[in-house]
Amino acid sequence: MEVTQVSINVTDRAGVDHVIKAQVGVPLMQALRNEGLVDAICGGECACATCHVHIQGGGMEKVGKPSGQEVDMLETSLETQDNSRLSCQVIVSEDLDGLVLTVAQAEG
Ligand code: FES
C-alpha cells in the first residue's frame, strides 16, 4: 500500500516534544502549522522565515540543503545553523518518516 503519511518528531519552541503526522507530497510546514507549531506568516512563499526549523540527527541527508531564495532568507535569521531549513520549502516524502527536528526560536 502506498504510504501517504509519515511521522515527524518535533521539539517546539518551549522544548516540548510532539509526534505529528505529515502528508506525503505537501510542504512540511503545513503539518507543523496544523499543529500550531510554526506561524508560517507568509503562507509558504519563502518570505518570512517563521517556519524555520533545525533538522536533527542525520536528517539533513534526507531533507537536503536549502538553495536559492531559501538561503537568502535564512541569511537574514540569527538562528540559522548548518542544519537550518525553511519547512515550507521541504516537500514531505516517504524517506522523511521518523525525521527529528526542532522549531527555531522566533526572532524580533
Ligand atoms: S512560511 Fe514563510 S518562509 Fe516558510
84 lines ligand 1 (CB under 6 A): no
What is the atom index within ligand 1 of the atom nearest the CA of 88? 4
pLDDT one-digit tens code per residue, 54-100: 999 999 999 999 989 999 999 999 899 999 999 999 999 999 999 99
Q: Whole-structure pTM over 0.85, yes or no?
A: yes
Domains (range + CATH), the chain: 5-103 (3.10.20.30)
Residue 58 pLDDT: 94
Binding site membership of 38 for ligand 1 (Cβ less than 6 Å): no
DSSP 8-state code for residue 51: T
CB-neighbour burial class of residue 39 (10 A; exposed 0-12, middle 13-18, buried 19+)? middle
d(CA 71, CA 84): 9
